[in-house]
Structure 1
Amino acid sequence: MLFSLAAIALFWVVPTRAQGPADFEGPDTTRIYELQQIEVTATRVDRKTPVAYTDLNSEEIARQNFGTDMPSLLQMTPSVVATSDAGNGIGGTAFRLRGADASRINITTNGVPMNDAESHAVYWYDTPDMASSVGSIQVQRGAGTSTNGTGAFGGSVNMTTARLSNEFSGEASMSYGSYNTNKQSLRIGSGLLGRHWIIDARVSHISSDGYVDRASTNLSAYMFQAGYYDNSTIVKLISFGGVAKVGLAYDGVTKEQLQTNRRYNSQGLIEHADGSISFYDDQIDNYTQINNQLVVTHQFNNRWSLNVTGHYTYGRGYYNQYKNGQDLSEYGIPPIATDDPAVTVTESNLIRRKLMDNHFGGVVASANYTVSRFQLSIGGAASVYDGRHWGDVMSVIEAPDFGRFEYYRNASTKYDGNLFVKANWEVACGLNIFADMQYRLIRHNITGTNDNFNSVTSALQQLDIHRTYHFFNPKAGINYSFARNHKIYVSFSVAQKEPNRSNFTDTKQNQYPSPERLNDWEFGYLFRNSRFEAGVNFYYMQYKDQLVATGELSDTGEALVRNIPDSYRRGIELTAALEITPWFTLGANATFSQNRIKNYTEHISEYDADWNYLGEKEIFMKTSTLSYSPDVIAGVMFDFHVKGFSALLQTQYVSSQYMTNARIDALSLDAYCFTNLNLGYEFSTARTKKIRVGLQVNNLFNSEYCNNGYGYSSIVDGVRVDEAFYFPQAMLNVLANVTVSF
């Protein structure tokens, strides 16, 4: 469908452009750009701020935007490790920053939180083809500056949507490659209409069979922007989102399966009465998310500006699961009568569906004051989340006449507000003092019946949780630029974070977690001239009451996390880039770190030979290693570009890492290294602004590696058993792309 739309658009629109520019003279393009810059003033940092950060501009994003999710585009930035359930960077993807997972990384778009209000996670397939909607990205490492949403316990990612242009433009992009991966995208920008209005719209479709069996992805996305402009004000209506259908693939494979069939996926496995097996073909996550933003930016004069963003996000979806040998009483279903009065069905295979419906809305505002040596931002945000979770047993296989049955339903509301003031003052030539203070208030309520069966009460878990948090997060630092090319900085930041939903639901009765606190020290040096840039950043992130998995099981049989009094991450980040010639650039980054828990106690569940639960054994370890935190992350980039041709060779190395906090070699990921090659050629014709032909070769040297996994330990009949599961990544695979800009 999109191929046809692209062809029609190119046929009709491209000749129109060739006829010449519009009849009237439009306003100053630079002025439109300056006003749109104000939108991110409050959440972005610059060279005068004592924060470790990396910027990605629209050209860098577009160069690698062949259809993979955002984590794949960020994986070569310092201290970042990307993961993919399906093995090819599309669908169930995520990334970690300094060892912190997505629930601990603050992610915003135009200052609006993207992290789910309850889980704190970001599900990238809920906003398909986000890379095509983004104009720029800033990755701040560490606590960073004040932002909206969950606390940054590893870092933050600040994205802005693509800028509106006052010139008519369009783009058609098509990709195809391994595992039937394909992307079609069409964008049209109106340019300035009536000297004040600009409209920009995009539709996209991405699908893939996935590297892992039945880990398919089918994503439909859109992006719409309408803007009104005058000399001092821009009003923009932005809407983006889409529909995602993603095959579940979060079980992983064992080490033995890695040797025999590394693409195996156990999700949807059906165990038939005759001993045969097959797979349920609808083990799929279906979700729709619509993000709406109304952005008002006004510049009063050369010193004062104001940005206000109202936002509303709607999400609704479900996923189906085939479950074998289920005890119906754990679903609240009484024994089901059969034709034989003496026989009832109390256990059966069944199909269940878990659903959710949520609404998230609020306002983000900041007033910005700038003079030659002083910058001040005063702002805040307020939001309300309203979510509903419920589940239905769709069918009971042993009782085909049994109808749909709702077995749980619960509701959540969350109120989140913050106020901040931040200032950057150049007190002397090159010497900047930075200060940032934020107050945050959260109220979180969860009530109803949860989906987990509580072994203590022998019933589905009942929720009645009401929590209020008050956080004060100060930040301060000094930045000194000297001798034109040198910069040195030091900063101290506090970030605090509330527990997420699962921290309350996956626990022991009446044992609820406390909030977490991070004290973050950063010290760095940067050298930059016209051809060479090098930097070093030292960090010490001290956590109080960090929530980590201990090996315990909750009352509902889920992995339990507890507050650990003392833990830390400390390391050194190195970056360098050298323009050897005007057509060849060499870049590199590396992170060397230690990530530790002090006075850690591992808990291991004990069972007899018949798997009857006997209790838990405690093993005191004194100091242990935080899970999913490699000691070394390193990347090298070779960028060759001459005339219209470009070649980008990227290699990343990640050292071994533990999958639990107990420091068990059997529950670890091996070190891995992979290389990606991006080739491109750009040219123009009389009818086009630019045509780019590209080829992305992933895992160039066919490395067999896993970038994620999980594991757990138990003691069975007196013998310790460590079970590990891995997520294998695709072998050498390719994606070809053609993008036509007009």
Structure 2
Amino acid sequence: MKYFVMFLVCLVITSQISAQEKEIDSVTGKKINLDEVFVSAIRVNKTTPVTFSNLNKEEFASRNLGQDIPILMNFLPGVVTTSDAGAGVGYTGIRVRGSDNTRVNVTINGIPYNDSESHGTFWVNMPDFASSTESLQLQRGVGTSTNGSGAFGASLNLLTDAVADEAFAQISSSVGSFKTLRNNIKFSTGLLNDHIEISGRLSRITSDGYVDRASSDLDSYFLQAAYTDDKTQLKALLFGGHEVTYQSWFGFDPSPINLIGQDGNIDSNRSFNIGGVKLDDNGDLEGFYDRQVDNYKQNHAQFLWNEKLSNLWSFNLALHYTKGRGYFEEYVDDWYYTNVLNKGDSQLNFIGLDSFTLNGEEITSTDYIRRRWLENNFYGTVFSADYTKDRLNVILGGGWNSYQGDHFGEVIWADYAADSQIRDRYYEDDSNKTDFNFYTKANYGLNDKWNLFADLQYRRVGYLANGEETGLVDDTFHFFNPKAGVVFDLNANNNFYFSYAVANREPNRSDYENGDPKPEKLNDFELGWRYVSNAFQLNANAYYMRYKDQLVLTGGLNDSGAPLRENVGDSYRAGIELDANIFLGEKWQIQPNVAISSNKNLEFFFERDGVLQDLGNTNIAYSPNVVIGNRLAFSPVKNFQISALSKYVGEQYMGNIDSENSVLDAYSQTDLNIQYVLNFKSVIKSITLSGLVNNIFDEDIVSNGYFYTYDDDSSGSVQTIEGAGYYPQAGTNFLLGATVRF
């Protein structure tokens, strides 16, 4: 509560300070540029009863020095981000209102991006994508109907580069801590004959990472051809990336590190990475495998068409295709597998080989190197038609998408290979998923003050899989997701809204590997107030999200680093969120936000020491009760700005049983960002110099982790053993960049 009071006091004081008139518009929405028609069916503005935040490229340009999009979103309300490698390059993650990235529906130009099976978003597959992003909108809660997997925490939609009127070319480079290096080139022809534009980008990012051997070697591209006239807009896009990252998704788990004779103290060895460990027959460390990497390519093709049929009607049609192919390669150490992970001694059988006798000794296990492959194809269409007349706006839309995934594993070397051959497959399975949805949205203005909103979506999901870990899966889900709300404009400055939304969601592949999961259901209530003036803007909202059979994170990971989940009966998330934008004269700007919440499992049961126990109401994993952010910007002269960005994340549990061993301590982070623009009237149009110092106070930040339990009956009675791992983030580190525009 004290954070809430401090925030309100700050708003009251600053709102009384006179300021230069400025047009503020993260709520009201700026004039829509031509390219925004491609996301108009799923984006919202102040006439819609949805809680949202906008972020455009000008707002994150000074920090866009090679880190992933989630890191650039770190200071939005209710957002918590993390990085496996500890410095924002490589695998990164985002949580919104405590919901992880599998629950954040992500679209690019209205086209689904979440992986169809895991529901996750892997930004590492599209490195430097922020450099081709025009704007993004984060809708918290259920939001409006969109395409792809259902939103259970938030919806994030990205719009790629707008059509440039004037030709340009630019070169960007940045360097930083941990040998981080980012280079990219961009170009645009501008509008040729007032109608056609071709643009593109090539990027390369390398980094050693903060964590040991958590290196990243990333390449990406973006190519766009566009045609526009008064009624027609066409875009053809090709983009994608290739990532090779050393595996750092194991985190820092003190227990197995102690077992191999290493320092298990996180404070003295924060960057230790057990990935690729090689041990001798006594469990002594020999070294680390140098190719313990994730190697994946992903290529996207999109065709976007918007047509204005009349003053009343327009439509959007998009076709898309994504090809993904890659593997993660890992050295499996016999001693570590058997003695540390307690997996037994049947590795030969696991990789499809028979035990055999050598010199009178039965051989049942071995050191080996495997590649676990995924090849997939994802294609489909999304569409919408927009009708606007007087006070009525109606959108009819939907999409059909198909996914085929081929999973298989290869053994490329084994200490005891028996009669196997290189690249023998020890498992092979495939999966198919289809996703069809159709929605109708209507926004009707009763008068100058009242707007009514309704949104009805039907979604059909079919999933077929036959893996050894999943078993045979042949499920079809039919979901009906209604939403309704009202908006009241008290006057030109004050806007109020209330909405109720239902969301249903299918389990992901890992859920099936864990057991027999149920689909989950969410009822979301949102109540909000938006205040806008020339100098001061405030968004305040309260929410109550009630879940049935929510698939909550258990805190555990599977053997490929994916979070494990399980159904709980009833649970809820409730909270208050505030964010403001305040101008103090011409030189100062403050953008504070605070999210205070309660996140509970109701009547949670857990088997401890062999006895099923009713733990009552427990905290939902990875759901801090307090998240605070702020940006303080100062522009002493034209084209120069210095900003201090701060973040506070309260204590959170990594499991659902409120164990003290599962606590992630609260942490705070402050970054310093500087940008200076030099303008010229020559071949070189401008040079932009940027600097970013992350974690300037060198705080010990652990932003993520995992928690596990297992039963030990070696003493004659069952005892529940608890363990935890952590993902430490880098101390003070920096990035420096320059962009030359021609």
What's the TM-score, normalizing by structure 2?
0.89
Match of 1:322 in 2: 331
* Pairwise CA distance, 1:273: 2.8
Match of 2:733 in 1: 733
2:245·2:295 contact (CA, 8 Å) conserved in 1? yes
* Pairwise CA distance, 1:193: 2.2
Distance 2:563 2:303 in 1: 40
Distance 1:655 1:677 in 2: 21
Match of 1:394 in 2: 412
1:243·1:289 contact (CA, 8 Å) conserved in 2? yes
Q: What one-letter code is carried by the residue in structure 2 that aligns with 1:723?
A: G
2:353·2:420 contact (CA, 8 Å) conserved in 1? no
Distance 2:553 2:316 in 1: 41
* Pairwise CA distance, 1:345: 2.8
Stretch moving more, 230-239 or 324-333: 324-333
* Pairwise CA distance, 1:230: 2.6
Residues 56-455 of structure 1 mapped to structure 2, 5 A cutoff: 56-254=55-253, 256-273=264-281, 275-325=284-334, 327-336=347-356, 338=358, 340=359, 342-399=360-417, 402-404=420-422, 405-447=424-466, 449-450=467-468
Q: What one-letter code is carried by the residue in structure 2 that aligns with 1:397?
A: D
Equivalent position SS for 1:281: coil
Equivalent position SS for 1:504: helix
Match of 2:567 in 1: 563
1:575·1:590 contact (CA, 8 Å) conserved in 2? yes
Match of 2:484 in 1: 476
Distance 2:564 2:590 in 1: 45
Structure 1 residues 559 and 601 mapped into 2: Cα distance closer, same or farther (>3 Å)? farther
Equivalent position SS for 2:266: helix
Name the count of aligned residue pairs.
684
Structure 1 residues 559 and 252 mapped into 2: Cα distance closer, same or farther (>3 Å)? closer
| Bigger fraction of residues in strand | 1
1:702 to 698, 702, 706: 698
Distance 2:568 2:496 in 1: 34
Equivalent position SS for 2:604: strand
Equivalent position SS for 1:72: helix
2:252·2:727 contact (CA, 8 Å) conserved in 1? yes
2:62·2:674 contact (CA, 8 Å) conserved in 1? no
2:51·2:141 contact (CA, 8 Å) conserved in 1? yes
Distance 2:240 2:732 in 1: 31
Distance 2:252 2:706 in 1: 10
Q: What one-letter code is carried by the residue in structure 2 that aligns with 1:334?
A: D
Distance 2:76 2:563 in 1: 31
2:518 is the alignment partner of 1:514:
yes
Structure 1 residues 48 and 121 mapped into 2: Cα distance closer, same or farther (>3 Å)? same
Q: What do residues 81-106 of structure 1 show as CA deviations (whole Å, max 9, x unaligned)?
A: 00111000111101000000000010
Match of 1:656 in 2: 651
Distance 1:284 1:650 in 2: 33
Equivalent position SS for 2:471: strand
Structure 1 residues 153 and 222 mapped into 2: Cα distance closer, same or farther (>3 Å)? same
* Pairwise CA distance, 1:346: 1.7
2:614 is the alignment partner of 1:620:
yes
Structure 1 residues 519 and 684 mapped into 2: Cα distance closer, same or farther (>3 Å)? same
1:257·1:264 contact (CA, 8 Å) conserved in 2? no
Match of 2:511 in 1: 503
Stretch moving more, 633-642 or 468-477: 633-642
2:642·2:675 contact (CA, 8 Å) conserved in 1? yes
1:80·1:98 contact (CA, 8 Å) conserved in 2? yes
Structure 1 residues 62 and 462 mapped into 2: Cα distance closer, same or farther (>3 Å)? closer
1:283·1:322 contact (CA, 8 Å) conserved in 2? yes
* Pairwise CA distance, 1:713: 2.5
Equivalent position SS for 1:103: helix
* Pairwise CA distance, 1:541: 0.2
Match of 2:497 in 1: 489
* Pairwise CA distance, 1:344: 4.8
1:336·1:399 contact (CA, 8 Å) conserved in 2? no
Structure 1 residues 555 and 679 mapped into 2: Cα distance closer, same or farther (>3 Å)? closer
What's the TM-score, normalizing by structure 1?
0.89
Q: What do residues 277-299 of structure 1 show as CA deviations (whole Å, max 9, x unaligned)?
A: 21000000000000110001111
1:396·1:402 contact (CA, 8 Å) conserved in 2? no
* Pairwise CA distance, 1:547: 1.4
Stretch moving more, 721-730 or 513-522: 721-730
* Pairwise CA distance, 1:720: 4.4
Structure 1 residues 525 and 553 mapped into 2: Cα distance closer, same or farther (>3 Å)? closer
Equivalent position SS for 1:428: coil
Q: What do residues 573-597 of structure 1 show as CA deviations (whole Å, max 9, x unaligned)?
A: 0112210111111110000000000
Q: What do residues 494-525 of structure 1 show as CA deviations (whole Å, max 9, x unaligned)?
A: 01100001111222xxxx21111100000011
1:714 to 707, 710, 713: 710
Distance 2:564 2:329 in 1: 25
2:555·2:706 contact (CA, 8 Å) conserved in 1? no
Q: What one-letter code is carried by the residue in structure 2 that aligns with 1:363?
A: T
* Pairwise CA distance, 1:558: 10
Identity of matched residues, %: 39
Structure 1 residues 485 and 298 mapped into 2: Cα distance closer, same or farther (>3 Å)? same
2:554·2:654 contact (CA, 8 Å) conserved in 1? no
* Pairwise CA distance, 1:347: 1.0
Distance 1:466 1:415 in 2: 12
Can you give the 5+ residue segments of structure 1 that lack an aligned partner in the other structure? 1-31, 451-460, 607-615
Match of 2:687 in 1: 691
* Pairwise CA distance, 1:431: 1.1
2:470·2:509 contact (CA, 8 Å) conserved in 1? no
Q: What one-letter code is carried by the residue in structure 2 that aligns with 1:634?
A: I
Stretch moving more, 181-190 or 36-45: 36-45
Equivalent position SS for 2:512: helix
Q: What one-letter code is carried by the residue in structure 1 that aligns with 2:281?
A: A
Q: What one-letter code is carried by the residue in structure 2 that aligns with 1:548?
A: V
CA RMSD of aligned residues (A): 2.1
Distance 2:627 2:234 in 1: 42
Q: What do residues 461-492 of structure 1 show as CA deviations (whole Å, max 9, x unaligned)?
A: 47211000001100000111122100111000
Distance 2:443 2:191 in 1: 36
* Pairwise CA distance, 1:568: 0.3
Residues 527-606 of structure 1 mapped to structure 2, 5 A cutoff: 527-549=531-553, 561-604=565-608
Q: What one-letter code is carried by the residue in structure 2 that aligns with 1:631?
A: N
1:440·1:470 contact (CA, 8 Å) conserved in 2? yes
Distance 2:185 2:563 in 1: 44
Structure 1 residues 366 and 173 mapped into 2: Cα distance closer, same or farther (>3 Å)? same
Equivalent position SS for 2:45: coil
Q: What do residues 605-633 of structure 1 show as CA deviations (whole Å, max 9, x unaligned)?
A: x6xxxxxxxxx542210111100000000
Q: What one-letter code is carried by the residue in structure 1 that aligns with 2:163?
A: L
Q: What do residues 18-48 of structure 1 show as CA deviations (whole Å, max 9, x unaligned)?
A: xxxxxxxxxxxxxx97542211110100011
* Pairwise CA distance, 1:556: 13
Q: What do residues 437-462 of structure 1 show as CA deviations (whole Å, max 9, x unaligned)?
A: 00000110002x43xxxxxxxxxx47
Stretch moving more, 305-314 or 163-172: 163-172
Structure 1 residues 299 and 208 mapped into 2: Cα distance closer, same or farther (>3 Å)? same
Match of 1:640 in 2: 634
2:577·2:596 contact (CA, 8 Å) conserved in 1? yes
